[in-house]
Structures are given as structure tokens and as C-alpha cells.
Amino acid sequence: MSKKREEVGLATSAGLIRYMDESISKVKIKPEHVISATVGFIIIEVILNYFRLF
């Protein structure tokens, strides 16, 4: 006899959705974009401070 293997959550969850199962946010930003925007902002700040414009 073969039994189907099912993924079972905690017994105390009582049918609640697991945290990672549902994505709440509709906006998805890649980590590479966040890092590149931060580096670009730092470069702009350094340039502006070098020429005393900001």
C-alpha cells in the first residue's frame, strides 16, 4: 500500500494560513534595484558635497 505524503502544518494552526503562503504586497522590488538606488544616492550626495552644492 502506498500512502500519499501530505504537508501538514501545526496542529494548533486550526486552518490559518501560514505566513509564507500568501503575498500581501502587490509591489515587488528586487534587492538589486534597492542596492543600486542606494549606491546611486550615495554617489550623488558625495558629488554634491564635493562641490558644496548641498
Residue 37's pLDDT is what?
Answer: 98
Confidence at 53, pLDDT banded by 50, 70, 90:
confident
Residue 52 has what pLDDT?
86
Single-letter residue type at 26: K
| pTM: predicted TM-score of the whole model, two decimal places | 0.51
Q: If you average pLDDT over residues 10-35, what whole number do you get? A: 73
The average pLDDT across 30-42 equals 97
Distance CA(54)–CA(46), nearest Å, equals 10
The CA–CA distances, whole Å, from 25 to 1, 16, 17, 36, 52 equal 43, 19, 16, 22, 40
Tell me the average pLDDT of the chain.
76
Domain ranges of the chain: 26-54
Mean pLDDT, range 29-52, rounded to an integer: 95
